[in-house]
Amino acid sequence: MTYLDFEKPIEELQKQIDHVRNGKHLIKPKVSAEELEIRLRETQNDIYSRLSTWQRIQVSRHPERPYTLAYIEKMTTNFIELFGDRSFRDDKAIVGGFAELNGETVMIIGHQKGINTKMRQYRNFGMPNPEGYRKALRLMKLAEKFNKPIITLIDTPGAYPGEEAEQRGQGEAIARNLFEMVTLKVPVLCIVIGEGASGGALGIGIGDRLMMLENTWYSVISPESCSSILWRSWDFKEKAANALKPTPQDLLQLGIIDGIIPEPPGGAHANPDEAASNLKAAIIANLTELKKLSAEERITKRIDRYSHIGIYQTEQA
Amino acid sequence: MSQERVPWWKRLRKGVETNTEQKLETPDGVWHKCNGCKKVYLTTQLEENLYTCPHCNYHERVDAEAYFSILFDEEDYNELFRELTPVDFLEFTDSKPYSKRITETEDKTGLRESMRVASGKTGGYRLTVAAMDFRYIGGSMGSVMGEKIARGIDHAIKNKTAFMIISRSGGARMQESAFSLMQMAKTSAKLTQLAEAKLPYISLMTNPTTGGVTASFAMLGDFNIAEPGALIGFAGPRVIEETTRKKLPEGFQTSEFQLENGFLDFIIDRKELKSKIGQLLGLMQG
Contact between A171 and B84 using a beta-carbon 8 Å cutoff: no
CB A311 within 8 Å of CB B179: yes
CB B34: neighbour CB atoms within 10 A? 18
Band the pLDDT of B191: cuts 50, 70, 90. Answer: very high
- Select the residue from B174, B175, B224, B259 to test the A interface by mutation, using most A Cβ atoms within 10 A: B174
Interface of A with B in 264-303 (CB under 8 A): 302-303
Distance from CA of A119 to the nearest CA of B (A): 19
Residue B239 lies in a domain: yes
Q: What is the pLDDT of residues A273-306, one digit of tens each?
A: 999 999 999 999 999 999 999 999 999 999 999 9
pLDDT at B1 over 90: no
- E strand spans, chain A: 77-81, 94-101, 104-111, 150-156, 188-197, 209-213, 217-219, 259-261, 312-314
Distance from CA of B181 to the nearest CA of A (A): 5
For residue B253, is it left (φ>0), alpha (ψ between -120 and 50) or beta? Answer: left
Band the pLDDT of A26: cuts 50, 70, 90. Answer: confident
Q: Which of A53, A90, A82 is nearest to A217 (CA)?
A: A53
Cβ of A254 under 8 Å from any chain B Cβ? yes
Mean pLDDT of A8-33: 86
Residue B39 lies in a domain: no
CA pseudo-torsion sign B41, B46, B48, B49? positive
CATH of the domain at B173: 3.90.226.10
Q: What is the pLDDT of residues A30-59, one digit of tens each?
A: 888 899 999 999 999 999 999 999 999 999
**pLDDT value for B213:** 98
- Select the residue from B112, B116, B187, B234 to test the A interface by mutation, using most A Cβ atoms within 10 A: B234
Distance from CA of A165 to the nearest CA of B (A): 9
* Residue B222 β-bridge partners: none
Q: Nearest by CB to B240, which of A166, A179, A205? A: A166
- Distance from CA of residue A258 to its chain's centroid? 14
Q: B112 is in which domain, residue-wise? A: 61-285
pLDDT at B171 over 90: yes
pLDDT at B19 over 90: no
User: Could you tell me which CATH number the domain at A56-307 has?
Assistant: 3.90.226.10
**pLDDT value for B57:** 95
| A134: phi then psi, degrees, rounded to nearest 5 | -70, -35
**pLDDT value for B141:** 98
Mean pLDDT of A85-109: 98
Q: What is the pLDDT of residues B213-272, one digit of tens each?
A: 999 999 999 999 999 999 999 999 988 998 889 999 999 999 999 999 999 999 999 999
**pLDDT value for B12:** 62
- What ipTM does the predicted assembly reach? 0.95
Cβ of A199 under 8 Å from any chain B Cβ? yes
Number of A/B CB contacts below 8 angstroms equals: 194
| B147: phi then psi, degrees, rounded to nearest 5 | -70, -40
Residue predicted with more confidence, B18 or A58: A58
Mean pLDDT of B94-114: 94
| B87: phi then psi, degrees, rounded to nearest 5 | -130, 145
Residue B41 lies in a domain: no
Enumerate the domain spans of chain A.
5-50, 56-307
- Spatial separation of the C-alpha atoms in residues A317 and B19, rounded to whole Å: 51
Q: What is the pLDDT of residues B23-82, one digit of tens each?
A: 666 667 789 999 999 999 999 999 999 999 999 999 999 999 999 999 999 999 999 999
- E strand spans, B13-134: 31-33, 40-42, 77-80, 84-86, 115-122, 125-132
**pLDDT value for A317:** 55
Number of domains present in the structure of chain B: 1
Q: What is the pLDDT of residues A168-203, one digit of tens each?
A: 999 999 999 999 999 999 999 999 999 999 999 999
**pLDDT value for A1:** 83
Cβ of A99 under 8 Å from any chain B Cβ? no
- Spatial separation of the C-alpha atoms in residues B42 and B28, rounded to whole Å: 11
The residues near A62 (Cβ < 8 Å, ≥ 6 apart) are A2, A4, A267, A269
- Select the residue from A166, A222, A256 to test the B interface by mutation, using most B Cβ atoms within 10 A: A166
- Spatial separation of the C-alpha atoms in residues A291 and B223, rounded to whole Å: 36
Q: In the 8-state DSSP scheme, what is residue B52?
A: B
The residues near B208 (Cβ < 8 Å, ≥ 6 apart) are B168, B169, B170, B230, B231, B232
Mean pLDDT of B194-214: 98
CA distances from A95 to A113, A189, A283, B240 (A): 10, 16, 18, 24
pLDDT at B8 over 80: no
**pLDDT value for B95:** 87
Q: What is the pLDDT of residues A115-170, one digit of tens each?
A: 999 999 999 999 999 999 999 999 999 999 999 999 999 999 999 999 999 999 99
- Segment holding B249, helix H or strand E: none
Q: What is the pLDDT of residues A82-94, one digit of tens each?
A: 999 999 999 999 9
